[in-house]
Structure 1
Amino acid sequence: MNAGLEALRRDLEDAATHLGRPHDLRVKPMFGGLMAYIGEKPCAWLSAQGLALKLAAIDQDELLACEGAVRFQHKPGGPPSRGYIIVPPWLCRDTARLAQWLSRSAEAASATPKKRPRPKARP
């Protein structure tokens, strides 16, 4: 695994431990990066761009006000994500502050209703 992704994973794990939720955090490889889940709900995306947290709109604005925070882009030159914000590297290294943001991400994820399965088309 990429050393940068491994470092971001450790930062995220440290934040989950700080919250007392290390066993709730799951990280799975996906599309060349890592998807992180808390309570089985997606909360973060780790990629070459950095650690992106899935946040509610009100929290997105607050994080974007921090120096170095930007919207995640799934593809270079593609549209910015509506829900994921890249956490500045300086904040990733501050376990207590990252834990606060991870908590907000977990709250937003738990507030998101489950998608209902699409009804099957009748022949």
Structure 2
Amino acid sequence: MSFPKPPQDAKELLSRAMPSHPHILIKPMFGNLGAFINGNMFAGLFGEQIFVRLPEDLRAELLAIDGASEFSPMPGRAMKEYVALPVGWKQEPERITAWLERSFAWAETLPEKLPAKKKAKKS
């Protein structure tokens, strides 16, 4: 299965809208981008879609906004806790920033997620 690649303007929009924090790590994921704090992904870019991770009450609030949707990188397989922001918000980056900040603030309270230990090779 191939995933959509994000265009340069979408990467730049995500970069400009991202909260300024020294511990945010943005790294490639499946040809797209993921934003992490303490090992937990809180936002990302999938093709032209910016998505955020939120607690239940904020997810409901965002999903009530026209154009927001459950984030489903594969049809019919929504990622739990993630919502895709309305595409029309490209013209309103301050709205993207506000939701990225809310997502970041919540994810920062989650327990640190440590990398999985690699299995030892069998001889």
Whether the aligned pair in 2 keeps the contact of 1:34 and 1:47 (CA below 8 Å) is yes
Structure 2 unaligned segments of length 5 or more: list them: 117-123
Question: Residue 100 of structure 2 corresponds to which residue in structure 1?
Answer: 102
> Which one has the bigger strand percentage?
1
Question: Residue 82 of structure 2 corresponds to which residue in structure 1?
Answer: 84
Whether the aligned pair in 2 keeps the contact of 1:43 and 1:109 (CA below 8 Å) is yes
Spell out, residue by residue over 1:62-83, the C-alpha distance to the aligned partner (whole angstroms, 9 max, x if none). Answer: 111111111011312x321211
Question: How many residue pairs were aligned?
Answer: 113
Counterpart Cα distance in 2 of 1:43 and 1:24: 12
Question: Residue 121 of structure 2 corresponds to which residue in structure 1?
Answer: none
Counterpart Cα distance in 2 of 1:27 and 1:115: 15
Question: Residue 121 of structure 1 corresponds to which residue in structure 2?
Answer: none
Counterpart Cα distance in 2 of 1:98 and 1:5: 17
Tell me which stretches of 4 or more aligned residues in structure 1 moved more than 6 Å.
Answer: none
Q: TM-score, normalised by structure 1?
A: 0.74
1:40/1:80 CA distance change after superposition, 3 Å: closer
Whether the aligned pair in 2 keeps the contact of 1:36 and 1:44 (CA below 8 Å) is yes
Question: Residue 56 of structure 2 corresponds to which residue in structure 1?
Answer: 57
1:23/1:92 CA distance change after superposition, 3 Å: farther
Q: TM-score, normalised by structure 2?
A: 0.74
Q: CA RMSD in A?
A: 2.7
Whichever residue aligns with residue 74 of structure 1, its letter is P
Counterpart Cα distance in 2 of 1:75 and 1:60: 19
